[in-house]
Structure formats: C-alpha cells, structure tokens
C-alpha cells in the first residue's frame, strides 16, 4: 500500500542525500537498484512509443533514475516538458516524483515489492498521456493540466 508522503524527505544536495542514505544497508541499496533497472527497461519502451512527438532521455542521478521528455516541435527540442524521477528515500523506500510543466502531483512512495514493472508501466503511461496533451502556451502563458488518479 502507499505510504504517507507527509513524512517523505527528498534531499536535493548530493552531500545531504549521501547522509540520508548512510544508515541504509546493502540489501536496501540492492533492492532499490532492481527497481531502478525495472524503470530503465520501461523507459526504453516509452522512448519507442514517444518517438513520434519527442525524445526521452534517461539520466542516472546518485543511484536514482530520472526520465526527461522534450518535444520535437512547438517550443523546440531543448524545452523540457516533463520529468519522472525515481529515488531512494531516507527510510529505504522508492519514491516517484513526476512533473509536467509546472504541475507536480504528490509523490508516490512505495515498498520495493510494490514497485513492480506493471506499476512503473502504469505510472509511465500516465506520464506519457500527460506529456502528449500539454497544450501550447496561450497568449498569457497559462496552461491547464489535470492528473488522473491511478
């Protein structure tokens, strides 16, 4: 089941992340590495599916994985539209953060057993759908994006 995300910490600075993870054992790190490998495999499929509208880039980040989406057209290939981040929490869980433009739904924090290929595929499908439907910037620069619950 999902965990309370109110206590979820996400350190941005590499030195702080290292301190956060210092107490985590080898078994937890190995379990998270397996989840990260699952996400990389699913990201490869996402890249193939999204090739018609944009590019997917997989970035390794301190043992975590970040997936970046940039469109081919519209605002140009250098404009980041969405990112999907998987990282290890301070208490040994897998956390998923998504952001499409300026919209970021709450983090999803899972035990490693819950972060199955099917679950990651479902989250990436939502990410894909939302990235594909990002409207062009209006004259006032406003955008409307809504997220569906999985």
Whether 8 maps to a domain, the answer reads no
Question: Which residues span the domain enclosing 125?
Answer: 14-132
Whether 34 maps to a domain, the answer reads yes
Whether 94 maps to a domain, the answer reads yes
Pairing of strands 94-100, 82-88: antiparallel
Strands in 94-100's sheet, in edge-to-edge order, are 54-61, 64-71, 82-88, 94-100, 108-110
Number of domains in the chain: 1
For residue 37, count other CB atoms closer than 10 A to its CB: 12
Whether 107 maps to a domain, the answer reads yes
Whether 2 maps to a domain, the answer reads no
Whether 41 maps to a domain, the answer reads yes
Whether 122 maps to a domain, the answer reads yes
Whether 140 maps to a domain, the answer reads no
Show pLDDT as tens, one digit a residue, over the chain (150 residues): 344 444 455 555 555 555 566 678 899 999 999 999 999 999 999 999 999 988 999 999 877 899 999 888 765 555 888 999 999 988 889 999 999 988 888 889 999 999 999 999 999 999 999 998 876 544 334 344 444 444
Q: How far apart are CA 16 and CA 127, in angstroms?
A: 28
């Amino acid at each position: 089941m999902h965990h309370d995300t109110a206590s979820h910490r996400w350190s941005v600075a590499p030195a702080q992340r290292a301190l956060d993870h210092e107490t985590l054992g080898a078994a937890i790190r190995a379990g998270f590495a397996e989840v990260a490998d699952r996400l990389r495999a699913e990201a490869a499929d996402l890249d193939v599916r999204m090739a018609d509208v944009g590019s997917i880039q997989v970035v390794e980040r301190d043992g975590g994985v970040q997936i970046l989406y940039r469109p081919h057209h519209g605002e140009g290939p250098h404009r980041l539209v969405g990112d999907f981040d998987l990282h290890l929490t301070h208490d040994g869980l897998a956390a998923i953060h998504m952001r499409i433009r300026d919209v970021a739904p709450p983090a999803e924090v899972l035990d490693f057993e819950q972060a199955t290929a099917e679950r990651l595929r479902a989250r990436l499908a939502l990410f894909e759908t939302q990235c594909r439907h990002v409207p062009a910037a209006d004259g006032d620069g406003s955008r409307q994006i809504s997220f569906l619950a999985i």
